[in-house]
Structure 1
Amino acid sequence: MSRPPAPKKGWLAHYSELVGAWTRRADNRQDAEDATHDAILRVLENDTGALANPRAYLHRSVHNRLIDGHRQAKLIDVVPLHELDEDEHPLLIDPDAQARTAQLLAALKTALAELPVKCRQVFLWHRLEGYTQEEIAQKLGISVSMVEKYMIRAVRHLRERLHNHAPH
């Protein structure tokens, strides 16, 4: 014979109710969960264990958090970069940006070409391809320590060669 589950205590007793009720009202489960988590976190951080009615407090906190989020969304119109028109893109405001980018790219290619082949390969695989140092060591048949040394050498060389392109 199995025992019934133990009753939930504290804020946990109200979690499902809060998320369910505010998901229906906000029409967005993610916002309801975020607001519920924020309210519960506030309770736990402030050690408000002596609340007369924790359920009411949590409902009011979630309600206030959702209203704050709604007001904030109305104030700030957020548009992802890929949805902006070309003339609205912030990177195109500076007329010299394209020329500086071309100069930096040319200097980077030159600096990379100056590195020994294995050193350059280690840098490119790690920084551009995302390989781990262990994977690179296996591919090149060298130790992880040697991969680390190649990376240090490449980064120092590039820093030295490209320091004129750093923002002032």
Structure 2
Amino acid sequence: MMSNWRNRLGSLFLTHRRQLESVVRQRVGSSEAAADIVQDVFTRALVAGPRATVDDERRVLFASARNAAVEHHRSRGRREHLLSMLHPEQRAIHEPSPERGLEAKQALGALDEALAALSPRCRDIFILRRVHGLSNEEVARQHGISINSVEKHIARALRHCQARLSEHLPER
């Protein structure tokens, strides 16, 4: 079933990537950022799994791309506002070095691997709650389980990810 979903998603990628990047580029003003955002959308779609129909999947991809572009724009605006409040000597401290960028990419790769190792249901519940911001009640309703079960899945996913990412987390 997963390979069928990968094939369908691959087909959706080939068919809609350029159009999605165009939609996102109009919102964020950068071709590079648009390509990254669209790739992230497809990665999240792969993790989330298939929808009921191909039309549903296409609609979700376009909605996700628009939402990701809006969030990118908002976070860039927040970051620029916060940086504008710093003195020039403070800004140099907060600019990421190439080493920090590499460390961040490695941590994201480890997170992707950790999420992939979760059961599909646990992963989906975690992503719906923590990435898409659904409430525990909404996730419970969508999966036909109790709120307590949702909380247990999220706790399991957090423990799993924390254990897998321990070398990437700062010492306490």
TM-score normalised to the size of structure 1?
0.47
Q: Which has the higher contact order (CA 8 A, sep 6+)?
A: 2
Task: State TM-score, norm by structure 2.
Answer: 0.46
- Relative to its length, the structure with more helix (as a share) is 2
Question: Who wins on radius of gyration, i.e. which is larger?
Answer: 1
